[in-house]
């Protein structure tokens, strides 16, 4: 067999092996890991049952927040929407981001009694009824203080939330009008979460009961947008 032909065969075999892994073994192994993660999730609940109940009581007292997450060295990320925003309509909310890269950007905003917002940029004031803040910045960023107040989170309460999420081996939390969820693990656009539904019949995905109000389920999460392992 000629050397060139041998090289081509080696390349084809390598590509075939990669495709077999990518299309079959990767999913197979990740499904195995998912089942193990579910077992770990339930065990983790029973090891910290009292703490989970106390923490859920704390989160029930705050406003709605999406993907509140803490990460090193001293960062925080979350989204909040105006109470006037309906995610089921076709009107896009006014998007404002507060990120580390624009830390020098001066902004002044004020929440009105009707939940609209007055935003000042360069001496120009704009008002909008439906808005969405996305935050990814340092915990000491003073621009987020007013946002946290809007969802009834004081600096002391924020520190407690950060501590308890870590103690409960969870990565992030979400609270909306339908449920509370604590993210436990994630993979390829999906998130394995503890779920506390306010009305189980209104949950739009499958949930499995652990005990009392606590369930678990898999939800879509753009945080895991790449090919990752559970």
190-222: pLDDT as tens digits: 899 999 999 877 787 899 999 999 999 998 876
In whole angstroms, give the CA distance from residue 126 to residue 133.
15
Instruction: Tell me the mean pLDDT in the region 61-88.
Output: 86
The SS3 assignment for 50 reads helix
153-183: pLDDT as tens digits: 999 999 999 999 999 999 999 999 999 999 9
Return mean pLDDT, the chain.
Answer: 83
Q: Are 185 and 192 in contact (CB under 8 A)?
A: yes
* Stated pTM of the model: 0.82
Note the helical H segments in the chain.
Answer: 3-20, 26-47, 49-60, 145-150, 155-167
Residues 6+ apart with CB under 8 A from 180: 56, 59, 60, 173, 174, 195, 196
In whole angstroms, give the CA distance from residue 52 to residue 49.
5
**The predicted structure's pLDDT at residue 183:** 94
- Omega of the bond leading into 73 within 30 degrees of 0 (cis): yes
């Amino acid at each position: 067999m000629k050397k060139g032909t041998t090289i081509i065969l080696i390349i084809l075999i390598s590509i075939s092996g990669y495709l077999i892994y990518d299309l079959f073994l990767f999913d197979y192994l990740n499904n195995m890991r998912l089942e193990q993660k579910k077992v770990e999730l339930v065990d983790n609940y029973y090891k910290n049952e009292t703490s989970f109940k106390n923490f859920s009581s704390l989160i029930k007292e705050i406003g709605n927040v999406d993907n509140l997450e803490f990460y090193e060295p001293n960062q925080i990320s979350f989204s909040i929407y105006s109470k006037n925003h309906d995610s089921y309509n076709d009107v896009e909310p006014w998007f404002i981001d507060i990120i580390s890269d624009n830390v020098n950007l001066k902004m002044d905003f004020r929440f009105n009694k009707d939940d609209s917002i007055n935003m000042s940029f360069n001496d120009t004031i704009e008002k909008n009824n439906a808005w969405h803040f996305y935050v990814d910045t340092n915990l000491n960023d003073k621009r987020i203080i007013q946002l946290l107040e809007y969802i009834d989170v004081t600096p002391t309460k924020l520190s407690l939330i950060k501590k308890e999420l870590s103690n409960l081996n969870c990565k992030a939390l979400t609270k909306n009008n339908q449920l509370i969820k604590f993210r436990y693990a994630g993979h390829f656009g999906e998130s394995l979460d503890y779920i506390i539904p306010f009305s189980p019949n209104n949950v739009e995905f499958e949930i499995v009961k652990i005990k009392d109000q606590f369930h678990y389920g898999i939800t879509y999460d753009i945080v895991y947008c790449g090919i990752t392992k559970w």
